[in-house]
Amino acid sequence: MHVPSIVGTQTGTTPRSGFSLIAEDGNPLPGVARVQSEVFMAAGKTYDVMVNVPAAGGTAIPVFDRQLSLSANAISRDAGMLAYIGVNGAGLPATPSIAAAVARPDTYASLLAGKTLTVTDPAKGVIANDTNVNGVTVLTAPANGTLTLNANGTFTYVPTGTATTDSFVYYANGNTAITATVSLGPAPLEAAAGITMGNITYNANVAGFLSIKSPGVLSVDKDAAGYPLTVATSTAAPSSGLILAVDQNGGFIASLAAPNTAPATYTFTYKAQNSQGTISTASATVTINFPAGSGLTVSVLDGVDKTTDLSNDYRWIIEEDRTFFIDPTTTTNTGTTIVPTFGTNFHTSYMPIVAAGCVGTRSCESGQSVLGVPAVCDVGNGVCRTTAAQQMPVNPGQVHLDITKRYYITVLPGDGADALDVNAQGHAHGMGGAPLAYSTTLARWVNPGITPAGQAFVTVLVEPTPMVPAKLSVFVFEDDFPLNGEQDGGGGIDVLSPNEAGLGSFQITLLDDAGGSGDATGQPTYDMFNMPLSNSLAGTIDPATRNDACPVSALETTGIDTGTGLPGASSPTGITGMIVTCPKYESDGLTLSPLAGQAIVANLYPGRYGVFATPSADRIAKGEEWLQTNTLDGEKAHDSFLRVGEPGFFQEFGPAGYHVSIGFANPKIINARKAGV
């Protein structure tokens, strides 16, 4: 954006500073021209202006962009704004910016035999050394190759043979009289000794397998002239027994035909090649130290029947468990042998990844192809190779684990995506995991407190899909006897206590916190089965009175017809599309409801929710004022964490209760009670 101005100019008969706009982009402006000192000028905008100057034939007035940091007093690319005004027919000033166009010869000593030369930066193109040239066109094509010349001076030259000299001629601004010759010459080749090779050592975490991504081995190599380096893959030479796949960008995959049972060392050598095609004189040696595996045995089982074995195909990842650890099965009388975390919190957000791998053809991505050839895309950055048909299978038992530390293994069964198959497969499982710790008594890795003494493997349970949805229970109560943020029930002579009773006609709103603190991702309004969220207690029959104990609508079967979506239509579900707490009275309007103030939201997906309660519209219309009396950390929402299959109650230790209890007080009710207390 530019805002130009003309200072000291005059227009009209009255001497006034400024100018008048006559036309915008060639279109005359309507109305009487007014005098102004500046005008907004967007990129590419053109204005015709009228000004008064002291005398005919006077000196031209230069007008610069007021954003001086963007002005270069030139008309080159990104040089800001510049204008010159010829007064009353006077000639324009003599300045290089409006001089005649000049095309100057160019030389590029950059050709390599059989290699394409590409110049993509206009500052290095053929126009860079020209004057007042706005576009170029080929006049005489090169003799030894094909040329693509762009109007901005950039070009691509593709040689037809191995020649390293050529030339072409271009003309500028559409004028064949303004020409220049571009000479292409051989690039100075760097000697092979200019490439410095460095040795490097890698310590693997897995027995018999190591995968390194780019830049990999090239991270210790250097070209003295600064040319990019790649691995000359034909020069890679592994030692006996090492299976090697090297990527030209420096990454590699090294494996053994069978995992080593004791620490082992292997090497391979290679040479680097720069972008000129020069291969280094010296070779570099890469050393790989494979550790012995832990011998961990993992059994993946269906989480429902505990017998269906899924251990033949799954992906896995092992992380170091750095959470603060206390064994609840033993009394700690001495110091722990676990490496200390030096922290006072019981959880941490960062767990170092030890290793990851796959077992089975599906999890190891078998079945892929590139142009009909079997391939595996494990090089990095989505690059595939055709030297293998799948990833190298790696068993968790090949991972080296420190017996003084604790770990956690997470698995994803190979049938995890079967639920998305257009043809029903009848089976699919989600992720599962298990903690790992070394038992000095059993001399093997176990699930702490879970693995039986006679079991030689670690069990990981994975839940079949679709998973059981969760329920959320909410209770809204009148908190004023006493006002303390807790529900203090009692009083009365019946089975229901009238003190701090539940409050009906309060709307419950959920916000999806996506498992973390901060701004919520949004407000869910539909459940896992694409039905509107509502109070699932609606239409519950009181067995003692046979009345509807939660008549959130005039008729419990009237709400939103889940078949047609029509409001007011008859529906056996009674879904209203709103989450409203059960009212004070049952459907007969006389009997106190035992569900007053309660709501259960069914079929929720697992996660962390922020739960809000607000008086409904009818309460607000009656002039009622309700003040919330309990909060979580001072905010209105109450947090609730729901797991897969969460029941309609919350229980940690002791009796079960509601997931969320929210108290409200009405100042008018409290003040009216003063005389009695």
**pTM of the full predicted structure?**
0.63
Q: What is the mean pLDDT of each successive set of 10 residues along the chain, which is 677 residues long?
A: 55 63 86 83 78 56 50 59 58 63 94 90 94 93 95 95 93 94 90 92 96 93 92 95 93 93 96 91 96 93 91 95 73 63 57 94 93 89 87 94 93 87 77 90 81 78 89 96 88 77 95 85 91 92 92 61 50 64 92 95 94 93 94 88 93 91 95 79
């009405």: which residue's tokens?
666
Quick check: 97 and 65 in contact, CB under 8 A? no
Separation between Cα atoms, residue 33 and residue 159, nearest integer Å? 61
Please name the helix (run of DSSP H) or strand (run of DSSP E) that holds residue 663, with its range, or none. strand 660-665
> Can you point out the beta strands (E) in 43-199?
47-50, 63-64, 82-83, 106-111, 117-119, 136-140, 145-149, 155-159, 166-172, 175-186, 195-196
DSSP assignment letter at 150: -
Cα of 267 vs its chain's centroid, Å: 38
Among positive and negative, which fits the CA dihedral 546, 550, 552, 557?
negative
Phi, psi of 201 (to 5 degrees): -120, 135
Domain 195-290 and domain 470-555+575-675 have a common topology: yes
> Can you point out the beta strands (E) in 257-405?
264-274, 284-290, 298-302, 314-320, 353-359, 369-370, 373-374, 376-380, 383-385
> Can you point out the beta strands (E) in 463-528?
470-478, 506-512
Separation between Cα atoms, residue 151 and residue 289, nearest integer Å? 56
- Around 561, how many Cα atoms within 13 Å sit in the side-chain half-sphere? 8
Quick check: 377 and 365 in contact, CB under 8 A? yes
Res 82: pLDDT: 61
Among positive and negative, which fits the CA dihedral 456, 439, 326, 449?
positive
Separation between Cα atoms, residue 512 and residue 611, nearest integer Å? 9
Quick check: 340 and 500 in contact, CB under 8 A? no
Q: Give counts: helices (H), strands (E), the chain.
A: 2, 42
Burial of 310 (C-beta count, 10 Å sphere; 0-12/13-18/19+): buried
- Around 488, how many Cα atoms within 13 Å sit in the side-chain half-sphere? 8
Six-digit token string for 357: 């791998």
Separation between Cα atoms, residue 285 and residue 269, nearest integer Å? 5
């409050």: which residue's tokens?
503
Res 77: pLDDT: 57
Separation between Cα atoms, residue 677 and residue 672, nearest integer Å? 10
Quick check: 39 and 3 in contact, CB under 8 A? yes
Six-digit token string for 59: 């000196």
Q: 3-state class of 214 per DSSP? A: coil
Res 514: pLDDT: 85
Contacts of 170 (CB under 8 A, 6+ apart): 103, 126, 136, 137, 138, 139, 149, 179, 180, 182
> How far separated are the first and last CA of the chain, in Å rounded?
72
Burial of 314 (C-beta count, 10 Å sphere; 0-12/13-18/19+): buried
Res 574: pLDDT: 47
Domain boundaries, the chain: 1-96, 106-186, 195-290, 297-329+349-464, 470-555+575-675
Among positive and negative, which fits the CA dihedral 133, 138, 143, 146?
positive
Separation between Cα atoms, residue 272 and residue 299, nearest integer Å? 44
DSSP assignment letter at 675: G
Res 88: pLDDT: 55
Res 92: pLDDT: 56
> Can you point out the beta strands (E) in 352-446?
353-359, 369-370, 373-374, 376-380, 383-385, 407-413, 432-439, 444-446
How many CB atoms within 10 Å of residue 298? Answer: 21
Separation between Cα atoms, residue 69 and residue 220, nearest integer Å? 42
Res 453: pLDDT: 65
Closest CA to 55 of 21, 22, 89: 89
> Can you point out the beta strands (E) in 166-228?
166-172, 175-186, 195-196, 200-203, 209-212, 222-223
Quick check: 479 and 501 in contact, CB under 8 A? no
Q: Which fold has domain 195-290?
A: Immunoglobulin-like (2.60.40)
DSSP assignment letter at 246: E
Q: What is the DSSP string of 579-606?
A: -BPPPSB-TTSSSBPTTTTEEEEEEEPS
Separation between Cα atoms, residue 397 and residue 448, nearest integer Å? 17
Q: 3-state class of 72 per DSSP? A: coil
Does the 470-555+575-675 domain belong in CATH 2.60.40.10? Answer: yes
Six-digit token string for 546: 């046979």
Quick check: 212 and 251 in contact, CB under 8 A? yes
Angle CA(403)–CA(408)–CA(412) in degrees, nearest 5? Answer: 135
